[in-house]
Structure 1
Amino acid sequence: MERLLDGRIAVTFHVQADSALSYGVKPAQPNRGISADEGRTWHLVTASEPVAGLLLPNGDRLRCGGPDVTPRALPLAGLQLPPVVGTVTGTYGGLTYAQYRHAALPPVLQGVPQARLSRGNAGWLPERARLDDPDLLRGSVEGVFPVVWWGDVHLLPDGALVAVVYPGRIEGGDFAHLHCGCYRSQDNGCSWQLQGRILYRPEVGADPSADRRDGFTEPASVCLRGGTLLAVLRTTDGLGSGPMYLTRSTDTGRTWSRPKAFRGWGVMPRLLLLGNGVLVLASGRPGADLSFSLNGRGEAWSPPQPLVPLSTAGLQDDSCGYTSLLALTDDTFLVAYSWFKRPGADGQEHKSILIRRVTVQPN
């Protein structure tokens, strides 16, 4: 859920197959709701207008770290690829991922896909920023080679950008699992350098499947007051529900505390620091829910407040569990989520995207 350049709100949702083959493919049906009245009413469209992106110190706007700038995955046939470093079998569907050194890949498979609206220009231009990470691997799957660099991007007080992203498989003893990388840009996003890495270091006592998990994925991150970076990480995979982990950095992402399991489930966590200092966490699967850290530090959280009624024990029977957050004022925000069994006027259950307005105040 993001603003468009004219201030309207857009909530965009996935309508294609859950596959690398769908990356960058234009949807065949409407996949976005637009609101011109701060989320009170919506109309359905097919996404075409770019979101506003992040305003940079030089006046440019940058879109990166999300599916909207992810290019279409390229067929392996015809690509000139370096030697395979190794292969990994994922927990979803037993898919095989062949891994290659990022630095040895052809330019079309390297770097950070993004788009820029330069100051004074009328149109967005796609670009590929340089990515400096000597140990990074990238992989092919399902006969194609996707270029994925997903995560939250933040503007620091010194004008630099920092992003916590996935996927991040690396060479060596940690090859078997996925990790999250923290990258810094000091040239308005034209290049990104590895700042630090959040290695998969699970709490075995909190998850009997810890050693067999895919690793850390879908990081949410936020800059807290005082400069600490806080990240929440997913481990749920094809083996079933796994804990969400929390880690923090006090040196802008160079080093991270050992990840701590703090909730037994959850996918695609979302974080939002409100102007009144309250930190909001949205996650799901099963269902969708909200939690609050009233002092804004992310050390203690309120019990999850459910947004979707659970009808069965199935992880995805009632909702995909993916959410989105957008602040409206210092104490009010919107949360978007899915409900697969919303009763309709016709007496039938319908898959729905819902947007709820929430107001929260610190003690």
Structure 2
Amino acid sequence: MRTSLILFLFFVTGICGAQPSSKRSVVVDDPSPGEGRGLRDGIPAYGATTIRYKQQGKITFDIRFKEPVVISVASRPEKWGFFQFPNIDRMTDGNIVAKWNLTQDAIEAYGNDTRGTAVSADGGKSWHLEPSEEPGNAVLLPNGDRLAIYTPKPIPEKELQLPAPVGVGLENYRKSNFNFYRLSELPESRQGVYFKRLKKGASKWELEKAALDDPQAARYSLAGLVPIVWWGDIKTARDGSLIAGIYPGFMVDKNGKTDPRSGAFFYRSTDNGHHWSILGRIPFQLDTAGDTVSVKRMGYTEPAFEILKDGTFLCVLRTTDGAGIGPMYGSYSGDQGKTWSVPRVITPAGVLPRLLQLSNGVLVMSSGRPGVQLRFTTDTRGMQWSRAFEMLPHDMDFKKELSGGSAQVSCGYTGLLPAGSNKLLIIYSDFHYQTPEGTIRKAIKVREVVVDKR
């Protein structure tokens, strides 16, 4: 389904090319918000661009995309996993830290902490490559501590006394099956979750292990290794408790078996992250109407989680693995994460969505693959979004990538950081950055975006 879109801007062929450097003003009239969110309907915003966004004839957003700033460029051609997967965070001294991966994207690399690091003291306008102990994804807690999820190194199966499996998972890209075990039956070293904590007033981050109470949870082994994977977002609820929306989520059913398709699980802590208890789940649900290859998916993964101003819990989920790039789904909770609405498609594709609610009431979502996109909404349920604003030009013939081929333009993983009541920074990778010498290298970029609600 496609609705009309009037763009008073330069025509873009969709083929990767040089990034525009001159400022452009664009008027977008979207007569049918919430419909026709096709990948070919993205709005180019590669360089400095000012956009007046109208929905049904009424101006809803004024958006200013600043020129991208290059943080770092690879010195040589890099394989998948290197010079990508960036994140961005604000340090205790007010400076901004950017981090990105410098190792393979594989279970064997978990816990290696091999990352590039840069710091900005001027709000992201300039960057200096320097080491930093900052994890890059920390949350400020009500007691003044800062907490960041940590992934320890996996332990070989042969070094553990493992219980009997409670299921076998779907074969993944490693051509190896998952073996599932009930969490409570695993060796103590494979239970719980790990964090890095910076106590209020302290200067050194400390590694700690927290308790995890979830009698139905399962964990897996893969390729002869048993990891602890507990990735996702942590938010502070109105009552001061911490809520974590994490993946992968595997559950042992009433028959003692594990569904190999993952879901998103939500946990609550009332003691600043030392103990976590299961709160709610979004189990994977087949949706042949919204996704014709739903039956081939490996489940929901990479959930973005945000608590909206009215108290609604919003979650956006990826469904890529198993059958190429899949749609992203939205689900919301009106009872603080205990139960969730039936997930429904909100975008046709995307990996690792990120959510950020600005204090002016605008909700921002970033995602990628193919390319890198930003979307905006004021919908209190997060189901109706603007069209995608494209950060990078990408080949319009992206069937290979959508069907599971390697990412062509960017890894698609992004990070968002608030920079004011109406302002944010987005960080992303660019696989086609052209150096002054004319070579093509991977680069990490950041740009400021200002969005005003009308």
Identify which of 327, 342, 356 aligns with 2:433. Answer: 342
Counterpart amino acid of residue 302 in structure 2: E
Kept in 1, the 8 Å contact 2:232–2:247? The answer is: yes
Matched residue SS, 1:341: strand
Q: Which residue of 148, 154, 158 corresponds with 1:63?
A: 148
Judging changes above 3 Å, is the alpha-carbon distance between structure 1 residues 2 and 160 closer, same or farther for their aligned structure 2 residues? same
* Residue 111 of structure 1 pairs with residue 192 of structure 2: yes
How much does 1:347 deviate?
A: 1.5
Query: 1:90-105, aligned counterparts within 5 Å?
Result: 90-105=171-186
Instruction: Tell me the equivalent position of 2:446.
Output: 355
User: Is the 2:195–2:208 Cα contact (8 Å) retained in structure 1?
Assistant: yes
Do residues 219 (structure 1) and 306 (structure 2) align?
no
The correspondence for 2:412, drawn from 307, 312, 321, is 321
2-side partners of 1:33 and 1:202: how far apart? Answer: 42
Question: What's the counterpart of residue 333 of structure 2?
Answer: 249
* Shift, 1:70, TM fit: 0.8
Task: Report what 1:191 is aligned to.
Answer: 275
TM-score relative to the length of structure 2: 0.76
In 2, the alpha carbon distance for the partners of 1:242 and 1:38 equals 35
Is 2:227 aligned against 1:146? yes
Moved more, 194-203 or 275-284: 194-203
Name 2:167's counterpart in structure 1.
Answer: 86
CA RMSD after TM alignment? 1.7
Q: How far does residue 48 in structure 1 lie from its aligned partner after superposition?
A: 3.4
Q: Which structure 1 segments of 5+ residues have no match?
A: none
Give the equivalent residue in structure 2 for 1:6: 93
1:141-186: CA deviation from partner (whole Å, max 9, x where unpaired): 1221110111110111211111110011112376131011011111
**262, 267, 273: which is aligned to 2:346?**
262
Name whichever of 237-246 and 249-258 sits farther off: 237-246
CA distance in 2, matches of 1:265, 1:200: 17
State, as a whole percentage, how many aligned pairs show the same letter.
41
User: Alpha-carbon deviations, 1:96-146, whole Å to 9, x = none?
Assistant: 111100001111101111122233444222111111111110011122111
Q: In 1, are the aligned partners of 2:250 and 2:263 still within 8 Å (CA)?
A: yes
In the TM superposition, residue 95 of structure 1 has moved relative to its aligned partner by: 2.4
Check the 8 A contact 2:167/2:258 in 1, yes or no: no
8 Å contact from structure 1 (residues 91, 213) kept in 2: no
| 1:74-109 superposed Cα distances (whole Å, 9 cap, x missing partner) | 122211111111211234232211110000111110
Deviations 1:4-52, CA, capped at 9 Å, x for gaps: 221111121112111111011142xx51221111100112245534458
Count matched residues. 357
1:208 aligned residue: 292
Q: 1:296 to 1:349 in 2, by over 3 A?
A: farther
The answer on whether the counterparts of 1:102 and 1:138 sit within 8 Å (CA) in structure 2 is yes
Matched, 1:37 2:122: yes
Query: Does the Cα contact within 8 Å between 2:218 and 2:258 map onto a contact in 1?
Result: no
Q: Distance in 2 between matches of 1:297 and 1:359?
A: 22
Q: Structure 2, unaligned stretches of length 5 or more?
A: 1-87, 402-406
Larger RCO (CA under 8 A, 6+ residues apart): 2
Kindly provide the CA deviation profile for residues 205-261 of structure 1, in whole angstroms up to 9, marking residues without a partner as x.
121221121100000011101100000000011420111000000111000000001
Change in 2 beyond 3 A, CA 1:270/1:196 = same
Moved more, 278-287 or 81-90: 81-90
8 Å CA contact 1:52, 1:61 repeated in 2: no
> 1:31–1:47: 8 Å Cα contact kept in structure 2?
no
State the secondary structure of the residue aligned to 2:162.
coil
CA shift in 2, pair 1:342/1:51, >3 Å: closer
Residues 286, 9 of structure 1: alpha-carbon distance in 2 compared, 3 angstrom cutoff: same
Q: Is this contact kept in 2: 1:291–1:301, CA < 8 A?
A: yes
Contact 1:181/1:197 (8 A) holds in 2: yes
User: 1:2 and 1:135, CA in 2 relative to 1: closer, same or farther beyond 3 A?
Assistant: same
Partners in 2 of 1:310 and 1:58 — Cα distance?
Answer: 45
CA contact (8 A) 2:320 2:351 kept: yes
**Highest Rg: 1 or 2?**
2
Partner of 2:64: none
1:271 aligns with 2:355: yes
The CA deviation at 1:299 is: 3.0
Deviation at residue 339 of structure 1 after TM alignment: 1.0
- Are the counterparts in 2 of residues 162 and 185 from structure 1 also a CA contact under 8 Å? yes
Distance between the aligned counterparts of 1:78 and 1:91, measured in 2?
24
DSSP 3-state at the match of 2:453: coil
Contact 2:308–2:314 under 8 Å retained in 1:
yes
SS across alignment from 2:102: coil
Distance 2:316 2:186 in 1: 30
Amino acid aligned to 1:243: P
- Where 2:367 maps in the other structure, the secondary structure is strand
Cα deviation code 1:314-345 (max 9, x no counterpart): 43111111011001001111001111012221
